[in-house]
Structure 1
Amino acid sequence: MTSAKTSIFITGATGYIGGTILKRLLQHGNAASFDISVLVRSADKAEKFKALGVKAVIGTYSDEDVLFESARKADIVFQNVEIANVVPIKAILRGLKRRFQETGTRPVVIHTSGTAAVNDSANGMYDSNTVYSDMEPDRVQSDEFVLPHRFVNAELLKADQEGYIRSHIIYPSTVWGLATGPLVDAGLQNPHSIQIPAWIRISIARGKAFKIGEGRNIWPDTHIEDLADLYMLVFNRVLSDPAASHGRDGLYFAGKDEHRLIDVYSAIAKSLYELGKVDSPEPTRLEDDEAIKYFGNALFVTSAHGGNSRVRSDRSFAIGWKPTRGTAEMLNSIKPECEVIVRETA
């Protein structure tokens, strides 16, 4: 690396995944050798991060100059936001390219994508036997996929191929479990995933739980702490060997187990019915106008939430990833999460 300390820049540090990554870095055995900075929107949050020993840069993800400068100063970037938007990642890459030109050392990006990048358009009506391995970069980056995750990932892989960064792309699946730790306690980090909790809130808002199509599609799932283990495995490999497999050989799926979406919809419906927040213990189909109302985009619901995303985390397992919590635990976690969200919405 280019200095006595390893300079780390994290986007999305107030988010569910980004905050959990930061928590793990602060708990890391080499934490004293890290110089960590995060991007935040307010001076109030900046002061709270400083109290935890973390530098804070005030700005937003539309501030390309801020992203450029923050990346230019970093040995390692954890990129966790706007994963379907190429504009912020291009600004970060420009900063990293400048750093490479100034230091001659290739900085590292550990980027959060998602297994929606290998989704079909089943609209919840059927399952699929097609499974993608993280050892198959050609299939993972196939032109058949229309969600913008692929285009963002392509920018990173191109920069890696051009030789001025080393990219590592992690693909979380349905991530579940409440985040915990000092950032949550300080009111800095969102403790909820963006998937199941959003479905719970929408179900409460419409007065009945929903399903997309018949919920026959299949998705992988991973607990937030198991996911954090994978990030730290990749990070530790980078620390010990900056030239560790990267680029097209640095794709990591984070899927521990699998579920049919109908099982999640049904668990939400049953839990909210028992809590008196919906009028039936059975989910009803989400219509297109509702998809636009609640998600802003009916096509996204059809092609993402309604699609099949089946993966094998072969590369992740090969580097020693050992997730311990599966679908049964995820389904059992839904009622406690409903209870938390009901209290919050009250």
Structure 2
Amino acid sequence: MATPRTTILLIGATGYIGGSVLTHLLAHSNAKSLDITALIRSEEKAKKLEQFGVKAVIGSYGEVDKLESLAEQSQVVFSCADADNLAAIDAILRGLKRRHASAGIPPILIHTSGTGTLAELANGMYATETIYSDLNVEQIKAIPPAALHRNVDLAVVKADEEGYARTYIVLPSTVYGVADNALVKAGVANSLSQQIPDIIRASIGRGQGGMVGEGKAIWPNVHIDDVAELYVTVFNAALNNSEGTGHGWGGFYFGENGEHTWYDISKAVSVAMVELDIGGTDEPTTFTKEELIKFWHDELVGNYSGSTARCRADRGRAIGWKPRYTTADMIASIKPEVELLWKKAEQEGGVKLRVPEVVAAMRAQNAD
């Protein structure tokens, strides 16, 4: 008997997380039964992606009609791109609703949010004592509607409540590690995360390791390979409709395997800069308001690197997720990233700052 095929749409294949998730899917034990389609902007990258057996469709996240059509054709959708694009998610959900109407079986949506939805702007001065568990549904429901990513997360959960899709939301924390998979090597996917590289770039730009406030705020962390494995663990459980696998309000899955202060990161950056003879001392100093604006284009967005958010990934572990890397591994990963970004800054003639469009989106989400 032929093995049943599973049609998958993956959004964000060229990204840091999306590329890593796709890499893990291509190495899945049932990879030969997975028909994977990826929406991708670049024709050049699309050709490279097809060499991996992935069907590449040229298009952007802004082409909502195309998103809706592709989602309708898919049993499973991995949304690994913009966590704050409500129009795009609405299009995907419309497609899944149409699929359910014709097939009668709820398709699966695995959406990427982030633990930034838990964040409190502490300006690096304190750590919250509140620790979220993804098994505590009432605690998850109490997250304020104006929180970062929350409007999109609520739309995803509503689809599950209405019964036309089974939805699962993965919330990565501070994701770290230089991705070194086949898609990165082929020039398809991004190799770097955002939070730690932002601090490294700003520190290189000022010639001294920096931190927001006193660096006392705490965040959770997770290695890029571990968080990709979390997506696959959720996918396996969702596809099998395994007993005990929560979805909807019971389908929030934190990506966490330890926590750190922002000082811990900035201290490691400072030490690495000294060891690499880049400059500064081995003790980080506080970013000034002017530096936050210079390197993040906006003081509020810069202060996000001094926010506090704490959680435990109890739900993922309950369905078999076994993360391997620890906070000590995160600290050890910083020096290679400092060296890499320093070399890039030299090649590019300076530190590459965030694009204003990204900053504007983050500011809008934090407006309340």
TM-score by length of 1: 0.94
* Greater shift in the superposed pair: 49-58 or 271-280: 271-280
SS at match of 2:35: strand
Give, in whole Å, the separation in 2 of the partners of 1:101 and 1:209. Answer: 55
- What CA distance in whole angstroms lies between the structure 2 residues aligned with 1:61 and 1:13? 12
Task: Give 1:279's aligned residue.
Answer: 280
Q: How many residues align?
A: 343
In structure 1, what residue type is equivalent to 2:267?
S
Give the distance between the partners of 2:6 and 2:97, measured in 1 at CA. Answer: 18
Shift of 1:87: 1.6
Residues 275-332 of structure 1, C-alpha deviations (whole Å, 9 max, x = no match): 2333333322223343233223332333x32221110111111112221211111111
Change beyond 3 A, Cα 1:309–1:111: same
Distance 1:141 1:149 in 2: 14
Q: How far apart in 2 are the matches of 1:107 and 1:297?
A: 40
1:60 and 1:293, CA in 2 relative to 1: closer, same or farther beyond 3 A? farther
Matches within 5 A, 1:16-55: 16-55=16-55
Amino acid at match of 1:98: R
Distance across 2 between alignment mates of 1:170 and 1:68? 21
Percent identity of equivalent pairs: 44
Shift, 1:4, TM fit: 4.0
The question of whether the paired residues in 1 share the 8 Å contact of 2:209 and 2:266 is answered with: yes
Give the Å deviation of 1:229.
1.7
- 1:259 and 2:260 matched: yes
Q: Return the letter of the residue paired with 2:266.
A: Y
Q: What's the counterpart of residue 68 of structure 1?
A: 68
Given residue 204 of structure 2, which amino acid in structure 1 is its aligned partner? I
Change (3 A) 1:218 1:103: same
| RMSD of Structure 2 on Structure 1 (CA) | 1.7
Give 1:191 deviation, angstroms.
1.0
Per-residue deviation at 1:253? 0.9
Match of 2:144 in 1: 144
SS in 1 for 2:20: helix
Provide the rounded CA distance (Å) in 1 between the counterparts of 2:104 and 2:9.
Answer: 19
> Please, which runs of 5 or more residues in structure 2 have no aligned partner?
347-368
The match for 1:305 is: 305
The farther-off stretch of 3-12 and 106-115 is: 3-12
Answer whether contact 1:85 1:148 (CA < 8 A) is retained: no
CA distance in 2: counterparts of 1:287 and 1:136, whole angstroms: 38
CA distance in structure 2 between the aligned counterparts of 1:101 and 1:126, rounded to whole angstroms: 50
User: CA–CA distance in 2 between the matches of 1:143 and 1:130?
Assistant: 12
Question: Deviation at 1:146?
Answer: 3.5
Moved over 6 A (4+): none
Task: Give the whole-Å Cα distance in 1 for the aligned partners of 2:177 and 2:343.
Answer: 17
C-alpha change, 1:296 and 1:67, in structure 2 (3 Å) is: farther
The alpha-carbon deviation at position 231 of structure 1 amounts to: 1.2
Cα deviation code 1:236-260 (max 9, x no counterpart): 1122227843111111111110111
Counterpart of 1:251 in structure 2: which amino acid? F
2:118·2:143 contact (CA, 8 Å) conserved in 1?
no
Per the alignment, residue 204 of structure 2 pairs with 204
The DSSP-based 3-state class of the residue aligned with 2:110 is: strand
**Mapped contact 1:39–1:57 kept (Cα < 8 A):** yes
CA distance in 1: counterparts of 2:107 and 2:12, whole angstroms:
19
Distance 1:292 1:85 in 2: 24
Contact 1:16/1:191, CA 8 A, preserved across alignment: yes
Match of 2:323 in 1: 323
Per-residue CA distance 1:53-72 (angstroms, 9 max, x = gap): 10111111111112111111
CA distance in 2: counterparts of 1:185 and 1:210, whole angstroms: 31
1:223 CA drift (Å): 1.0
C-alpha distance 86-289 of structure 1, shift in aligned 2 (>3 A): farther
* Residue identity opposite 1:264 in structure 2: I
Structure 2 CA distance for partners of 1:66 and 1:278, relative to 1, 3 Å: farther
Shift of 1:145: 6.2
Secondary structure of the corresponding residue to residue 184 of structure 1: helix
One-letter code aligned to 1:214: E
Where does residue 294 of structure 1 map in the other structure? 295
**How does the TM-score come out when normalised to structure 2?**
0.89
User: Any gaps of 5 or more consecutive residues in structure 1?
Assistant: none
> CA deviation digits over 1:160-215, x for unaligned, max 9?
10111110011111111111221011011111111212221222223222211111
Whether the 8 Å contact between 2:75 and 2:108 is mirrored in structure 1 is yes
Check conservation: 2:270, 2:280, Cα contact below 8 A.
Answer: no
* Aligned counterparts of 2:128 and 2:117: Cα–Cα separation in 1: 15
Aligned CA distance change for structure 1 residues 289 and 137 (closer, same or farther; 3 Å): farther
**Contact residue 220 and residue 260 of structure 2 kept, 8 A:** yes
The structure-2 alpha-carbon separation of the partners of 1:130 and 1:166, relative to structure 1 and needing over 3 Å to count, comes to: same
- Residue 155 to residue 296, structure 1, CA distance change in 2 (3 Å): farther
The one-letter amino acid paired with 2:117 is A
